Amino acid sequence: MPTKKIDLSIVILSYNTEKFIKACLGSVIKAAQGLAKPVEIIFVDNASTDDSVKVIKEEKTKHRTEKIKIEIILSNKNLGYSGGNNLGLKQAKGKYILFLNMDTIVFPNAFKEAVEFMESNKKVGALSAKTLLISGGMDPDCHRGFPTPWASISYFLGLEKLFPKSKIFGQYHQSYLGFDKNHEIDAGFGTFMIARKEVLDQVGPWDESYFFYGEDLDYFYRIKKAGYKIWFYAKPLLRHFKGGSSGLRKESRKLSSASRETRIKTAQASVKAMEIFYHKFYKDKYPAWVTFLVLMGIKIKGFFRILYHRFS
């Protein structure tokens, strides 16, 4: 490995995603060629029970180059999204750290454009890029507001969908800001999240209270609270199958290896994540009656979400 400094460390978490590995890594290798400095790719396997590790090792041998270093970290148990990413974060040496989901295909210019944007915008702590769904359209979760009680109510009642350009009803995804120009947002998502290492060193690791879902919102919230900006990059840089590990999404259900047990566990974790986030950041900002209604709403939504996956 050259002694030149590493511009970019890419942390890719794997859990039973063998069907996505070759496409993801192939696109990552191609995109990495656009950077002048060496790139390190850190695969973290979260105790997969399929052939993910075997495929990753085969791909590592196939794609080994002087410019691209590929490291594999094997966890002996499923640590969840935060825990798995933290294993990779501890090893990352790049000036910028990119957290990338395995069920993605990045475009050839993705890393070059993301790094150049960060280099030109020193006050930006983290960047979320426009992400296209394999099933079509933009993944709305790459452009989000923080889930305040009002933003969440407007979203779950369908008011955001009815009035997407309204600042009153469109707060959950901040859709009123539009998606065609680069601009500041509250939060992106962990599917493609690039941040400065110095910022993450200051803010700290992913919060492992979250097992799956919500941890990326938490991280963006903490980065912004530390005084850094979060920006949305309006040019598409990747495609996302969505739900490759969890099996919760219809778009990728046929490709996902997730069992019914995994889907139920993930659905339960998503509900727990909402409760953790609210207690951590919002409980002290709202009166008791608001907190009661919010937590009751979370439990009701969670009941039906878990019920759906239990019998689907």
Q: Which residues pair with 97 in a beta bridge?
A: 9, 195
Chain centre to alpha carbon of residue 164: 23
Number of domains in the chain: 1
Higher pLDDT, 212 or 261: 212
Q: Which domain holds residue 26?
A: 8-143+179-244
* pLDDT one-digit tens code per residue, 68-109: 999 999 999 999 999 999 999 999 999 999 999 999 999 999
Greatest Cα pair distance, the chain, in angstroms, is 60
Residue 18, classed as helix, strand or coil, is: helix
Q: For residue 38, is pLDDT > 70?
A: yes
Q: Is residue 265 part of a domain?
A: no
* 232-272 residue pLDDT tens: 999 999 999 876 554 445 554 555 555 677 667 777 777 88
Cα 165 to Cα 70, 124, 161, 178: the distances in Å are 43, 25, 9, 8
Give the C-alpha separation, 251 to 212, whole Å. 19
CATH assignment at residue 24: 3.90.550.10
Domain membership of residue 277 (yes or no) is no
Average pLDDT over residues 134-153: 93
pLDDT at 252: 46
Asked whether residue 26 is assigned to any structural domain, the reply reads yes
Tokens 């594999």, residue located: 72
The answer to whether the beta carbons of residues 88 and 11 sit under 8 Å apart is yes
**Within-domain flag for 174:** no
pLDDT of 311 reads 66
For residue 112, give Cα distances in angstroms to 39, 96, 122, 178.
Answer: 11, 12, 16, 24
Torsion of CA 157, 150, 250, 247, to 10 degrees: -140
- Dist CA 291 CA 82 (whole Å): 26
